[in-house]
């Protein structure tokens, strides 16, 4: 190895700032770009990297880890005893079986594929289970292997053009359900395979709703991969909105709902870019579309509805780092109108982020406790929740530290 080669972040005697610099350069980020993402000046970041400033507090360390998409704090600290994976939740016990079903491409089989109506009913039940179960990954992880195999078999065996299109729509929906199970687990390649296969199956089906759902999920996969993929996420969402727009005057409810969900996703990505006006403009458009839906309607995949727009407003304000606004929006949003347990838990996490931004850590912890009560598996796999808990575990206020530590133990966040 040449003497001037870039050292690895585990090489001694690298200090914290040197690790930040190495990881930043490996991500292809400039110092100004990272500084903007963590809310610091380039001058301050330079001093951290050069060792002219002491290692920052935990809150700043976590912001740096988030911006660099560091998977483990030890990559930044160099200490094995800080083995905490921030952005990928634990591998679910059923992940291996789901992966095997997805990767299985049986070209010939004697198994009789199920009737289309039978698979439709099972998928409907699976989506229902996902929304109603506390541990929704366990609920759908148990069902997915057979659903995937049967959906693949049905797509292979379909005879008529109409049956093939219908089977491809069901296959796409099965991949969509799979993506909810796989997200934030330690197999990002599997997530991408599912997202892309879902889009291919949806396009083969020609079903506008299936195409919209697949685009919604594929765009999320890009957006959650970090700022360098925001353009791709935005392009997918924009194309899907353009595709559905001519259908909207006479659209069925589910098509209108997925179009509204896609419109909001454009606002979400804009908020992640800190584009305030654009973010709220897309939220307004999505809200107008939600107003056309029946009052009790709830989209089975995206949760798009009239009720969810309040929760979406909290998310936009949080991503724009508008702490006060996020708290005001949280006060307006009625979480009891959100029937899906995992979506309700996600809303509570967004509330916690808002309260944390607004310097109300005790209220943030209370919101996270409610999230855990609604759907434990949602908070276990959510990087934002994990970050807040980790910070408050170090609080100087004993009661707050004790609550955060108890929640960390419940979530299984800290390594033994």
Q: At what angle do helices 276-290 and 253-272 cross, to 10 degrees?
A: 170
In the prediction, which pLDDT does 30 show? Answer: 87
Percent residues over pLDDT 70 in the chain: 90
85: pLDDT confidence band, cut at 50, 70 and 90? low
Instruction: Of 138-152, 191-205, 321-335, give the lowest mean pLDDT range.
Output: 321-335
At residue 414, the pLDDT reads 61
Q: Which of 86, 55, 17, 39 is nearest to 390 (CA)?
A: 86
pTM for this prediction: 0.79
Would you state the pLDDT for residue 338? 86
DSSP 116-151: HHHHHHHHHHHHHHHHH-SSHHHHHHHHHHHHHHHH
- Helix spans in 206-307 (H): 208-223, 230-244, 253-272, 276-290
Tell which residue, 101, 194, 103, 193, has the closest CA to residue 145.
Answer: 101
User: 47-51, 105-109, 258-262: which range is least confident on average?
Assistant: 105-109
SS3 of 71, please?
coil
Task: Tell me the pLDDT band of 56, cut-offs 50, 70 and 90.
Answer: confident
Per-residue pLDDT, averaged over 270-282, amounts to 95
| Assigned CATH topology for domain 16-82 | 434 Repressor (Amino-terminal Domain) (1.10.260)
Question: Which residues contact residue 99 at a Cβ distance below 8 angstroms, ignoring those fewer than 6 apart?
Answer: 187, 190
What letter would DSSP give residue 245?
A: G
3-state secondary structure of 242: helix
Orientation angle between helical segments 95-103 and 136-157, nearest 10 degrees:
10
- Cα separation, 365 vs 354, in Å, equals 11
| Per-residue pLDDT tens over the stretch 88-129 | 666 889 999 999 999 987 776 667 889 999 999 999 999 999
CA distances from 8 to 12, 14, 17, 22, 24 (A): 9, 9, 13, 7, 12
What is the chain's mean pLDDT, rounded? Answer: 88
Residues 6+ apart with CB under 8 A from 48: 16, 17, 20, 55, 56
pLDDT at 310 over 70: yes
- Whether the per-residue pLDDT at 5 is higher than 50: the answer is no
Q: Measured at the alpha carbon of residue 245, what is the angle toward residues 239 and 250, in degrees to the nearest 5?
A: 150
CA gyration radius, the chain: 22
- Asked if 328 and 367 touch (Cβ cutoff 8 Å), the reply is no
pLDDT at 12 over 50: no
**Would you give the distance in Å from CA 30 to the centre of its chain?**
26
> Which stretch of 74-78, 132-136, 181-185, 301-305 has the lowest confidence by average pLDDT?
74-78
**What pLDDT does residue 328 have?**
86
Residue 147 in contact with residue 123, Cβ under 8 Å?
yes
What gap in Å lies between CA 369 and CA 349, rounded to an integer? Answer: 9
Largest CA distance in the chain: 71
For residue 293, give every residue at least 6 positions away whose Cβ sits within 8 Å of its Cβ, in sequence order, or none: 253, 256, 257, 260, 304, 305, 306
Q: Is the pLDDT of residue 254 over 70?
A: yes
**How many other C-beta atoms can be found within 10 angstroms of the C-beta atom of residue 200?**
14
Asked if pLDDT for residue 29 goes beyond 90, the answer is: no
């Amino acid at each position: 190895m040449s003497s001037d080669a870039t050292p690895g972040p585990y090489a001694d005697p690298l200090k914290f700032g040197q690790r930040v610099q190495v990881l930043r350069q490996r991500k292809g980020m400039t110092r100004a770009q990272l500084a903007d993402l963590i809310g610091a000046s380039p001058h301050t970041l330079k001093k951290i990297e050069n060792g002219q400033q002491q290692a920052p507090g935990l809150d700043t360390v976590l912001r740096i880890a988030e911006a660099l998409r560091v998977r483990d704090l030890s990559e930044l600290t160099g200490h094995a005893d800080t083995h905490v994976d921030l952005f990928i939740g634990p591998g679910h016990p059923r992940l291996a079986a789901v992966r095997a079903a997805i990767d299985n491409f049986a070209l010939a089989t004697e198994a009789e594929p199920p009737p289309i109506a039978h698979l439709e009913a099972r998928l409907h039940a699976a989506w229902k289970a996902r929304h109603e179960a506390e541990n929704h990954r366990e609920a759908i992880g148990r069902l997915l292997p057979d659903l995937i195999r049967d959906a693949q078999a049905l797509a292979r065996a379909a005879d008529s053009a109409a049956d093939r299109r219908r089977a491809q729509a069901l296959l796409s929906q099965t991949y969509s359900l799979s993506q909810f199970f796989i997200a934030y687990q330690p197999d990002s390649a599997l997530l991408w395979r599912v997202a892309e296969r879902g889009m291919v199956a949806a396009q083969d089906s020609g079903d506008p709703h299936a195409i919209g759902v697949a685009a919604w999920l594929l765009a999320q996969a890009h957006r959650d991969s970090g700022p360098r993929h925001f353009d791709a996420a935005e392009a997918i969402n924009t194309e899907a909105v353009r595709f559905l727009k001519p259908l909207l005057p006479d659209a069925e409810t589910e098509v209108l709902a997925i179009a509204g969900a896609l419109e909001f996703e454009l606002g979400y990505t804009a908020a992640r870019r800190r584009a305030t006006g654009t973010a709220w403009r897309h939220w307004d458009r999505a809200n107008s579309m939600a107003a056309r839906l029946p009052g009790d309607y709830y989209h089975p995949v995206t949760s798009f509805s009239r009720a969810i727009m309040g929760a979406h407003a909290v998310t936009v304000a949080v991503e724009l780092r508008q702490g006060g606004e996020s708290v005001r929006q949280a006060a307006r949003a009625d979480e009891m109108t959100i029937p899906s347990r995992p979506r309700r838990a996600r809303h509570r996490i967004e509330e916690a982020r808002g309260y944390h931004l607004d310097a109300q850590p005790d209220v943030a912890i209370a919101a996270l406790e409610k999230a855990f009560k609604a759907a434990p598996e949602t908070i276990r796999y959510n990087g934002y929740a994990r970050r807040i808990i980790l910070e408050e575990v170090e609080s100087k206020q004993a009661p707050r530290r004790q609550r955060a530590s108890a929640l960390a133990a419940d979530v299984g966040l800290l390594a033994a």
